Amino acid sequence: MYAKYIKRPMDFILSLLAIIVLSPVMAVTALLIKIKLGSPVIFKQKRPGKDEKIFKMYKFRSMTDERDENGNLLPDEYRLTKFGKLLRKTSLDELPELFNILKGDMSIVGPRPLLVEYLPRYNETQRRRHEVRPGLSGLAQVNGRNAISWEEKFNWDVTYVDNITFIGDLKIILLTVWKAFVKEEGISAEGYATVGKFTGSREKEEANG
């Protein structure tokens, strides 16, 4: 009942209210990004949503455009400044996704929208994460975020898909706020400025081998 009839209208109302209330914060953040990192202020990237439908996700820019002598972007650890790390640590870079939620591309709670290039790398179970709208935060984000393995993340995603409740969503929202502003854990994977790319699960590699 909640997942089918209540979750989407609630997402719309809450995202609209959040955009109104947080508009001064977003305006100041955008100005600081313009000054410290330059243009564009908004980072746009195609991501797969519900039923693997591709949409354009919005985030505040958190990296520079520094490139090597061949014109290729430098690795994340070189382009992620102290200011960019602060944006990610506080999740301020995620605020423009409220417009994705308003549009219906995303939900407040759900599996995080990942790269389009990962689609052929999922096994059948992992692919189930696309049965619902991707979220601003989800079970994986409050259970380790970038500090856990890809397989663990996907297990949490599928667990969420099978157990969507109002109380569960409320707990995830509260835990997200707690971890972002109080505990500040799981911001990056060990050895990475953010997180390493998903190259496929061992189970799928063995099946294809």
Helix (H, G, I), strand (E, B) or coil at 63: strand
Check: CB of residue 80 under 8 Å from CB of residue 87.
no
Residue 42 corresponds to which amino acid?
I
**Structure confidence by residue, pLDDT tens digits, 95-149:** 999 999 999 999 999 999 999 999 999 999 999 999 999 999 999 999 987 788 8
Alpha-carbon 5 to chain mean position:
24
pLDDT per residue over 19-53, tens digit each? 999 999 999 999 999 999 989 999 999 999 999 99
- The C-alpha atoms of residue 36 and residue 49 are separated, in whole angstroms, by 31
Query: Around Cβ 35, how many Cβ atoms within 10 Å?
Result: 9
